[in-house]
Amino acid sequence: MFAISLMNGLVMGVIYALAALGVSLVVGIMNVVNFAHGELYILAGYFSYLFASALGVNFVLAMVIAVGLVFFLGLLIEYLLIRPTYGNDMYSLILTFILSIVLQNAYLLIFGPYPNKPPLWVQGATDVFGLFLYGNQRLAALAAGAALIAVIFVIIKKTWFGRIIRAASQDREMAELNGVNTTRLNMLSFGLGCALAAAAGVILAPVFPVTPTAGVPVALTAFVVVVLGGMGSLWGCVVGGLTLGLVENFGAAFISSGYKNVFGFMILILVLLVRPSGLFGRAKI
């Protein structure tokens, strides 16, 4: 029980971290919270299902296409909806919230309320340290998620683009003075944030099938992770994501499974009470 909860917690924690990275990136740079994050996560799940199961495309290619499409959708959303609201944070909250409801209802109309599932990458199960049998698909999800997080860290810490992102999230005006086209950067980072949601979506969809409203708890967890880790902090996302994944799964195993998502809320309240700026303080990506 302990070992399997630990394992589940790790898998979920990595996915939470991935989803939260997308939110945190956008918050850090644009000071915008995308309430449609969960719906984009679900959209990528639907895309990969559509391409792989219905059209018979290779599952890896289907995943890449799905993430790419959501990335472009993210660029479009930023251009059409977010860009005109700069300087008024409130409207971006309202607009993305409306967008999330619109998307949920559109999915319901197009795909119906039934769970859809893209094909598994791998079959079977592995014996983990002789303790328990664990589904290979979940192990693959864990590996893929961890690898992707590593890639993001390398991009942000080592590349020129990452340097621009760090500069803009530390001091926007200063970055602008140094020749950063922040309008373009906003668009790109919003798209990237959406693509990260999509990546989490395609990785997790084979394990947890997508339904029109399945994105809500995921997005909510990502928000809690972002607050827990500290808005705009990348390390905060990783630590916060793993913490939340573990707390939820241990809580579900040893206290009550119906209240799995409530533990996250308790953490949120606790953070706001004790350390409102989160574990890793404010915004030094």
Q: Which of 3, 58, 105, 159 binds other proteins (CB under 8 A)?
A: 105
Which long-range contacts link 52-60 to residues 24+ away (Cβ below 8 Å)? 52/118, 52/119, 53/116, 53/117, 53/118, 53/119, 59/118, 59/119, 59/121
> Cα(156)–Cα(163) distance, rounded to whole angstroms?
7
Q: Which of 54, 154, 171, 217 binds other proteins (CB under 8 A)?
A: 217
Q: Which of 6, 69, 120, 216 binds other proteins (CB under 8 A)?
A: 216
Of residues 44 and 219, the one with the C-beta less far from other proteins: 219
Q: Which of 227, 238, 239, 244 binds other proteins (CB under 8 A)?
A: 227
Residue 6 burial (10 A CB sphere; 0-12, 13-18, 19+):
middle
Of residues 133 and 217, the one with the C-beta less far from other proteins: 217
CB of 74 to other proteins, least distance (A): 16
Q: Which of 86, 91, 208, 250 binds other proteins (CB under 8 A)?
A: 91
Of residues 3 and 98, the one with the C-beta less far from other proteins: 98
Q: Which of 35, 41, 47, 190 binds other proteins (CB under 8 A)?
A: 35
Q: Is 102 in the site for other proteins (CB under 8 A)?
A: yes
User: Who contacts 162 (Cβ-Cβ below 8 Å, separation ≥6)?
Assistant: 155, 156
Q: Is 46 in the site for other proteins (CB under 8 A)?
A: no
Q: Which of 55, 60, 94, 147 binds other proteins (CB under 8 A)?
A: 94
CB of 233 to other proteins, least distance (A): 15
Q: Is 244 in the site for other proteins (CB under 8 A)?
A: no
Q: Is 95 in the site for other proteins (CB under 8 A)?
A: yes
Residue whose entry in the numeric block shows the structure tokens 């990783």: 238
Q: Is 106 in the site for other proteins (CB under 8 A)?
A: yes
Q: Is 65 in the site for other proteins (CB under 8 A)?
A: no
Q: Is 97 in the site for other proteins (CB under 8 A)?
A: yes
Q: Which of 16, 46, 51, 223 binds other proteins (CB under 8 A)?
A: 223
Q: Is 60 in the site for other proteins (CB under 8 A)?
A: no
> Cα(208)–Cα(203) distance, rounded to whole angstroms?
9
Residues that bind other proteins (CB under 8 A): 27, 31, 33, 35, 80-81, 84, 89-91, 93-95, 97-99, 101-102, 105-106, 109, 216-217, 220, 223-224, 227, 231, 256, 258-259, 261-262, 264-265, 268-269, 272-273, 276-277
